């Protein structure tokens, strides 16, 4: 059993980290250039240069392009209006229209970000060129380059972003499942009854039962961090001790939940099902695969109850942004609160007598 407990999560970490990427490449991109100016050609060349876009073809009318999108030959259409260059120069303002095939909403969101990034980058450049035309009206220095801080930008690797999150997920699932099955298993075997006729105190029994899983959770975290750093070159900008400190409290929350599930289940199947129910909700609402900001408001509110959410947030902040304790103190204290509340309920609902 023990090798399985260690090996499988690590295999998952390796596989999922490679598979769970939001990166979209080879976007089938087309454009309608109504301006045929130097500026419009330069904008298009930006798209051509990007590794994310495959320029399918240019269309002479929007209608034609729309038709191609309907047939699925095109994912995105950029329409450059008449007088694009002129408006940019004289009014310093212009509209571009972008149509994206949104059948896959998540992909469409990512594509739209890519496109607006390129356009934004392009705008900066125009401004610097404009600078030469009209020296007085622009105070911006020539060399300003805004590097978009989006996590999906080119400089930041997806795996860097996903690996810590997936590690959180594995540590959570493993400790939740093992702890919720464990006491139920003793119920099934009858050893729990034997324990209950002894004068052992509730807290002694519970600590004895859960401590090994607490240690196991930290060991899995360690192995996972080693893989994250050695295999995926995830940076550790913050203090790694902070991650351990947080995890040691976080695991109490998960073990508390596991114990509550155990207390309310009579069979391992039952416990398994309840643990599965919670883990699916926790994972999908953790911000790991879908950004919390893009959830409806009620769902965002629900995520505040989700311990995984805080762990994902904190591990990313500490590893990728180099956050220190004061940066993570709010989620940390929320988790401390949960640890107390859940374990209190767990101990209270554990019955030596029925």
**Closest distance between another protein and the C-beta of residue 196, in Å?**
5
**Closest distance between another protein and the C-beta of residue 274, in Å?**
24
CB-wise, 190 or 296, nearer to another protein?
Answer: 190
C-alpha distances out from residue 99 to 29, 74, 223, 261, 283, Å: 10, 10, 45, 49, 32
Q: Give the residue carrying structure tokens 């119920």.
A: 187
Asked if residues 81 and 62 have their Cβ atoms less than 8 Å apart, the reply is: no
**Closest distance between another protein and the C-beta of residue 189, in Å?**
7
Burial (CB < 10 A; 0-12, 13-18, 19+), residue 327, is: middle
With vertex at residue 265, the alpha carbon angle to CA 208 and CA 303, rounded to the nearest 5 degrees, is 85
Helix (H, G, I), strand (E, B) or coil at 305: coil
CB-wise, 49 or 197, nearer to another protein?
Answer: 197
**Closest distance between another protein and the C-beta of residue 192, in Å?**
8
**Closest distance between another protein and the C-beta of residue 265, in Å?**
18
Structure tokens at 128: 């610097």
Structure tokens at 262: 């155990």
**Closest distance between another protein and the C-beta of residue 313, in Å?**
39
Beginning with the edge strand found earlier in the chain, give each strand of the sheet holding 27-33 in spatial order.
Answer: 53-59, 27-33, 76-80, 97-100
**Closest distance between another protein and the C-beta of residue 198, in Å?**
5
Q: Which residues bind another protein (CB under 8 A)?
A: 189-191, 193-200, 352-354
CB-wise, 147 or 197, nearer to another protein?
Answer: 197
Intra-chain end-to-end CA distance of the chain, in Å: 32
CB-wise, 79 or 186, nearer to another protein?
Answer: 186
CB-wise, 136 or 353, nearer to another protein?
Answer: 353
Pairwise CA distance, residues 304 & 327, whole Å: 17
Phi, psi of 225 (to 5 degrees): -65, -40
Maximum alpha-carbon separation in the chain: 90
CB-wise, 208 or 291, nearer to another protein?
Answer: 208
Pairwise CA distance, residues 29 & 18, whole Å: 26
CB-wise, 194 or 233, nearer to another protein?
Answer: 194
Residues in the chain: 354
């Amino acid at each position: 059993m023990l090798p399985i407990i260690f090996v499988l999560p690590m295999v998952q970490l390796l596989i999922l980290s490679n598979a769970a990427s939001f990166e979209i490449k080879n976007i089938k991109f087309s454009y309608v250039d109504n301006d045929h100016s130097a500026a419009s050609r330069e904008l298009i060349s930006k798209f051509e240069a990007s590794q994310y876009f495959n320029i399918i073809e240019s269309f002479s009318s929007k209608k034609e392009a729309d038709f191609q999108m309907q047939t699925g030959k095109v994912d995105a259409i950029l329409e450059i209006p008449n007088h694009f260059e002129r408006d940019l120069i004289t009014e310093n303002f212009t509209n571009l229209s972008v149509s994206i095939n949104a059948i896959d909403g998540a992909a469409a969101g990512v594509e739209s970000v890519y496109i607006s990034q390129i356009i934004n980058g392009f705008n900066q450049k125009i401004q610097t060129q404009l600078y030469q035309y009209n020296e007085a009206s622009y105070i911006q220095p020539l060399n300003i380059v805004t590097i978009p801080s989006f996590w999906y930008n080119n400089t930041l690797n997806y795996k860097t972003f996903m690996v810590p999150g997936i590690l959180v997920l594995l540590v959570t699932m493993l400790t939740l499942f093992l702890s919720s099955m464990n006491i139920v298993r003793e119920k099934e075997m009858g050893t729990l009854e034997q324990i209950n006729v002894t004068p052992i105190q509730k807290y002694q029994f519970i600590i004895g039962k859960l401590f090994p899983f607490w240690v196991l959770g930290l060991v899995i975290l360690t192995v996972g961090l080693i893989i994250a750093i050695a295999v995926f070159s995830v940076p550790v900008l913050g203090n790694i001790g902070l991650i351990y400190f947080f995890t040691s409290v976080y695991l109490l929350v998960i073990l508390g939940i596991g114990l509550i599930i155990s207390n309310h289940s009579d069979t391992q199947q039952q416990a398994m099902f309840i643990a599965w129910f919670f883990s699916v909700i926790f994972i999908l609402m953790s911000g790991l695969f879908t950004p919390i900001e893009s959830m409806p408001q009620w769902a965002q509110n629900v995520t505040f109850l989700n311990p995984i959410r805080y762990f994902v947030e904190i591990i990313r902040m500490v590893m990728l942004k180099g956050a220190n304790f004061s940066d993570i103190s709010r989620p940390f204290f929320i988790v401390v609160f949960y640890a107390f509340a859940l374990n209190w309920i767990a101990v209270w609902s554990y019955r030596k007598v029925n």
